[in-house]
Structure 1
Amino acid sequence: MDESSAGRTRRRPDVTDVELVGGTEKVRLHLVEHDPAWAQAYARHETRVRTALGGVARSVEHIGSTSVPGLAAKPIVDVLVTVPDITAEEDYLDALVAAGYQLRVREPGHRLVRTPERDVFIHVLEPDDPAADDYLLLRDHLRRDADDRALYESTKRELVSRDWPSMNHYADAKTEVIEAIKARARAVRDGSA
């Protein structure tokens, strides 16, 4: 059995490569003003996920730009679900597929399922994965900090105007700004700002 970084026993080794189910997809990206209906959509999917997974879902959280009031976003609701063992796909993946989601990404430490309409993306991670903390750190900071929220929105507006081969390329282009915002958020959280 494989050991995770937290010393927990995993059922099997995790995948080592990135698998994009269905291959690379070219998408036309656009931003829209914040829509309060996104919170309602999240609530419906939270219920759907919790019903499908029961106690396997350690947490279910609304993340990403649609979770930040006042922030323009791509009209895609992002959801974070944490499960005890990412390698034990039989504990969560079949149930999410049966609930109507489609597997899109399988990569080390992360699985992504989405709706067929591609308007809800569900990111599955383990509770102690630093990426899970980062999603919540960024969300909470953007909810509180108007300057960083404005910076993030202006960055997204500039980037979305470009032609990208895939959504992953667009996401990668935001990395530098996101990392700077997260560094400020950590400083605030840790009391060093």
Structure 2
Amino acid sequence: MDEDADLPIRLSHHDPRWRQEFQQIRSGVLQCGQGMITQVEHIGGTALPGRISQPIIDVLAGVHDADQMDEAALSIEGLYFRPLPPPHWDSSAVRLIKPRGGPVTHQLFLMPIGTPAWHAALAIRDHLRADTEASLRFEDAKVGIWKRTGGDPEDYPRAKDGVFTHLMEQLNLP
């Protein structure tokens, strides 16, 4: 369980250092993955330039061989990540957070490249990067949910799921 799971969700204005943070994590994950991890992508709100987001770098890491998931996850743990239960949107993914203690700064989802969840995460990110109006609506929805829920760590993510469901329907994603 997250040590900071009971703390209210925080939102921050875009920080240009988020991109650099992602690049550092990407480099470390690819290196420690020793060829098992072949693709690392920046997803989530911090991947959207200029948008308000939770200050947590979301990372999507992919393997081509699903049989290497456990070994790849162990290699990522060596970068001071710790495992958590899988995300509700893909029970086959491995979810890891950093640091091992204290407030979460990074969240990594490890999964086989090419799964529906892999494609959906990238399609949503790419859509929001390419369509400024959609990105602004997404930001407005998140901020509205945050205000309505008071940043409650259970209510906020649950309510935000509806925004992602709507985006997936718009993009005809499974």
Q: TM-score, normalised by structure 1?
A: 0.76
SS in 1 for 2:104: coil
Within 1, Cα distance between the matches of 2:152 and 2:140? 21
Q: State the SS of the aligned residue for 1:142.
A: helix
Q: Does 1:30 align with 2:13?
A: no
Structure 1 vs Structure 2 CA RMSD: 2.3
Question: Any residues of structure 2 matched to 1:1-193 within 5 Å, and which?
Answer: 21=1, 25-86=5-66, 88-106=68-86, 108-116=91-99, 117-161=103-147, 162-163=149-150, 166=153, 169-186=155-172
C-alpha distance 131-44 of structure 1, shift in aligned 2 (>3 A): same
Q: Which amino acid aligns with 1:170?
A: Y
Q: Any stretches of 5+ residues in structure 1 without a counterpart? A: 1-20, 188-193
- For residues 17-41 of structure 1, the C-alpha deviation after alignment (integer angstroms, 9 at most, x for no partner) is xxxx468921211211111100000
Hey, which bits of structure 1, 4+ residues long, moved more than 6 A?
Answer: none
State the distance in 2 between where 1:69 and 1:182 align. Answer: 21
**Are the counterparts in 2 of residues 66 and 76 from structure 1 also a CA contact under 8 Å?**
yes
Distance 1:91 1:84, change over 3 A: farther
Aligned length: 166
* CA shift for structure 1 position 164: 5.7
TM-score between the two structures when normalised by the length of structure 2: 0.84
Compare CA radii of gyration and give the structure with the larger one.
1
SS at match of 1:54: coil
Per the alignment, residue 8 of structure 1 pairs with none
**Alignment identity in percent?**
23
1: CA distance, partners of 2:21 / 2:124: 20
Render the CA deviation track for 1:77-119: whole Å, top value 9, x for unaligned: 0000012345644421221112211112246311111111410
Instruction: Give the secondary-structure state (helix, strand or coil) at the position aligned to 2:168.
Output: helix
Report the alpha carbon displacement of residue 142 of structure 1 after superposing the two structures with TM: 0.6
> Is this contact kept in 2: 1:68–1:142, CA < 8 A?
yes
Structure 2 gap ranges (5+): none
